[in-house]
Structure formats: structure tokens, C-alpha cells
A and B are shown apart, each in its own frame.
Chain A
Amino acid sequence: MIQLYTADSVHRFDHGWLKGSHVFSFGDYYDPENTAFGPMRVCNDDTISPEKGFGAHPHSDMEIVSIVLSGTLRHEDNLGNVAESTFGGIQRMSAGTGAIHTEHNPSKDEPVRLLQLWFMPRTRGTAPSYTTGRFDPAKLEGRLLPVVATEGSEEVVDIAQDMTIYLGRLSHGQELTFRQETGRRIFIYLMEGQLQLEGDVLLQPGDSVRIEEINELKLTAVESAFLMLIDLP
């Protein structure tokens, strides 16, 4: 089953310093029928103006992943972590029993665009933690590159949930097949280009899909495509 959420159908906003979209209920967008897909709770495509951002605020019992698509994102928290990430950079906060952080754009002239994703953790009430990682953007070409997974590694950030986040770039006409285990979910968000699923569903930028009960998913780039695919329980 493939459920399509087009870019036009999701909650879009423009607060001046912050523009973007919320794929799930978030902020002043609340739809009780659209709060989660398995453990996935938030998918925000945010663009923050230069020298703007979110002041100190708390989180708990959530795995929060920030994927920078362009520009620079700076994080600072009460655990003593300070980090700046650009494209290729991933930030992961395991909020656990609680952490306070800020996120802002330190650049004087360049906006930052990021995907912020929240997932319920495998276990609640753990000690909070934070880490960053970096993948090689050149390795995105023609494949789905894992960038966040249960088991971390040198170029894969770990996360306290049974899941994997992949990023990939497909050139015009390129195809690949994603094989999924029975009983698991797939979430796809298209950042750029046009992507066809199963020769049938066509995605434009900002579109997302929630997929269940499919073991082999054929992806075809109708135009050069940049996508995120998440394997979820």
C-alpha cells in the first residue's frame, strides 16, 4: 500500500525567518489523523534565514535527526555539545530524560535548509546523548546510502531505534529496487527532481509517501532525483 502526501497537501508556513513544511502534525498544525507513521513523528523541511533560529528549548524521549541540505546549522546544548554542520553533516540528539538545546543559522548571509526528523526511541527514560556524523556526498550517486542506522559506523550515525535512514541521488532514467522485510514500513521524502514508484506513483519535490506491505519497491528517476528513504519497523 502506498499513501501519497503531496507537497500541496502538507502544512506549509512562512514566518519570515522560518519557512517550510510539516509532513506530520507539528507546531500550530494539528491533525489527530496525521501524527505518526510507526515510530516516526516529525518530518519538517525547514529553511532558516541568516542569523536566525530556535532559542533554548527542551526535548525528551525522542530521537531527533537533523540532515543539513544547504547552508550551516549550529547546535548547542546543556550537555556541553556545540556543533556546526553543513551538507554531508548529520546531527542526532537522543533526548532521553531531557536535554535543552538551541539550533540556529550562524551564517550572516546564507539561509540553511534542513530536514528535521523525530522518531520515538526503542526505550524511553535513557540518559540523553548527542552526536554528529558526516557522509561523503559523492557516495550518494546512483544508490541509497545509509546515513543513520541502529548500528553506527564511521559514516553512519547511530540511533536508538530499529531503523535506517538512506539518502540517494539518481540521474535521469536511473532505476533501483529497494527490498524490504515483511512487516516493515518505508517512508520516502523527495527533495529534488521527479521520482516514480512502481511505475505508477509520481513524486514531485516536497512529496512524501508512507508504504506498507511492499517487499520490493522500484524507484525510477523521471528527472534527476534527490531523495530520503527511511526503513522503519
Chain B
Amino acid sequence: MPERVLVKHSVTGRMFVNSTEGLTYSFDKKGDLTLITIYGVSADKGAAVVEHKSELNVFRFEEPEAGPIIKHWYYVGENPVSYDEAEQCLTLSVQSEIEYRPDQYWE
């Protein structure tokens, strides 16, 4: 199923990272946390995410060919966010997730 990962500023809505721009990603469990690793992130975007790590909206959108979009939102909180410039790799540690379908609310 087509899906994408987005990282945005939670106050202004600025888009920092959008996986549809040729990026790849992985989700891996690490204890009580989930590590979201995004590859191919440019240095300026990586730095911006780290700078705003306490105010991030991290999303994974599942977009089936037929059927409503399913959105997943992840809470970073005080967990680590890091960027490796040499590897162009952004890693976000998230502690919880909310799955929601916008079509089940007013829209």
C-alpha cells in the first residue's frame, strides 16, 4: 500500500522532511520506543529537525488505492532525535502512536 512519512513543525506546520522526495525509511522497535530512521535527508533539513526536536509532528500516512487514508501520528516527547550528516540519516525515537482516520471525524 502506498505510504509516506512526514516530519513537520508542530506549531507553524512547516514541512521539514517528506519521504516522497526520494527518501527511504525504516521503523524498528527498541525497548519501549520505536526508532524511525529516514535516509537521504539533506544536512539543512536534518539540522532543522534536530533544532526543533521538542516540537515535531511525525506522521506516517497509509494511502490505499481504494478506501480512506489512515494516518499514524507519533509522539517524540523528550526522546532522542539525531542526524548523521555523513550518512544523511535522521533518527527519531518515538514513544507512542495514535492511529486515526480523518473520514471518521468531521471533514
**Which chain B residues (54-99) contact chain A, with CB distance < 8 Å?**
54-55, 57, 71, 73, 75, 77-78, 95-96, 98
**Does B10 make an interface contact (CB < 8 A)?**
yes
In the complex, chain A residues whose CB is within 8 Å of the CB of B21? none
A27 to B9, CA, bound (A): 10
Set A58, A78, A97, A118: member contacting B77, Cβ < 8 A: A97
Contact A125 B78, beta carbon cutoff 8 Å: yes
In the complex, chain A residues whose CB is within 8 Å of the CB of B71? 56
**Which chain A residues (92-116) contact chain B, with CB distance < 8 Å?**
97-100, 102, 104
| Residues of B in contact with A, size category | 20 to 34
**Does A61 make an interface contact (CB < 8 A)?**
yes
Contact B106 A53, beta carbon cutoff 8 Å: yes
Contact B96 A98, beta carbon cutoff 8 Å: yes
**Does B1 make an interface contact (CB < 8 A)?**
no
Contact A124 B77, beta carbon cutoff 8 Å: yes
Set B10, B11, B104, B106: member contacting A104, Cβ < 8 A: B106
- Identify the 10 closest CB pairs spanning chains A and B, nearest first: A55-B107, A56-B105, A56-B102, A58-B73, A102-B106, A98-B75, A102-B105, A100-B100, A104-B106, A97-B75
Q: What are 20 contact pairs spanning A and B, CB under 8 A?
A: A25-B12, A26-B11, A27-B13, A42-B11, A55-B102, A56-B71, A56-B100, A56-B102, A59-B10, A62-B10, A62-B11, A74-B106, A97-B75, A98-B73, A99-B98, A100-B100, A102-B105, A102-B106, A102-B107, A124-B54
